[in-house]
Structure 1
Amino acid sequence: MKSNVGRNDRILRGLAGLAMLTCSVMAPMSLAVRVAAFGAVGAYLLVTAIAGTCLGYRLMGRSTCPAMPNR
């Protein structure tokens, strides 16, 4: 799969994913709400940061990767 998430975007996604997963553990809400609202989003952000590809970007035809030089 072609990468469409740039370096800075990956760092921010990783940090945001960790923050969301922390909220899913510490938020004073019911378990179902924490898992659905914070856990799922946090896990998605971490997976996209690690994999370097985002389904939403792919569907929109976007990319935050630097432009590749012409060969």
Structure 2
Amino acid sequence: MKRNVGNLERLFRALGGVGLLVCAVMAPLPLAFRLAACGGLGVYMLFTALAGSCLGYALMGRSTCPLEPGR
């Protein structure tokens, strides 16, 4: 999958993913909700931050990456 997430957005996604994973551990909510909602979203956000590509952006044909790959 080609890169479609810019560097600044990757930083914010990584910070948001870490925050969601902390919520999955510490939030006073039922365990199933914490793992499914907070943990699942946190893992996805960290994955997209590390990979530099977002499936949702690819499906919409969007990109926040300022340069095309290979430039």
Q: TM-score, normalised by structure 1?
A: 0.92
- Residue 20 of structure 2 corresponds to which residue in structure 1? 20
Query: In angstroms, what is the RMSD of aligned CA positions?
Result: 1.3
CA distance in 2, matches of 1:52, 1:67: 13
Q: TM-score, normalised by structure 2?
A: 0.92
Identity across the alignment (%) = 59
**Counterpart of 2:29 in 1: which secondary structure?**
coil
Structure 1 residue runs of 5 or longer lacking an equivalent are none
Deviation at 1:37, TM superposition (A): 1.3
1:14-64 alpha-carbon deviations (Å, 9 max, x no partner): 000000000000000111010111000000000000000000000000000
- Residue 54 of structure 1 corresponds to which residue in structure 2? 54
The number of residues matched between the two structures is 69
CA distance in 2, matches of 1:53, 1:28: 32
- Residue 43 of structure 2 corresponds to which residue in structure 1? 43
Structure 2 residue runs of 5 or longer lacking an equivalent are none
Runs of 4+ deviating beyond 4 Å: none
Structure number with bigger Rg: 1
Q: Does 1:32 align with 2:4?
A: no
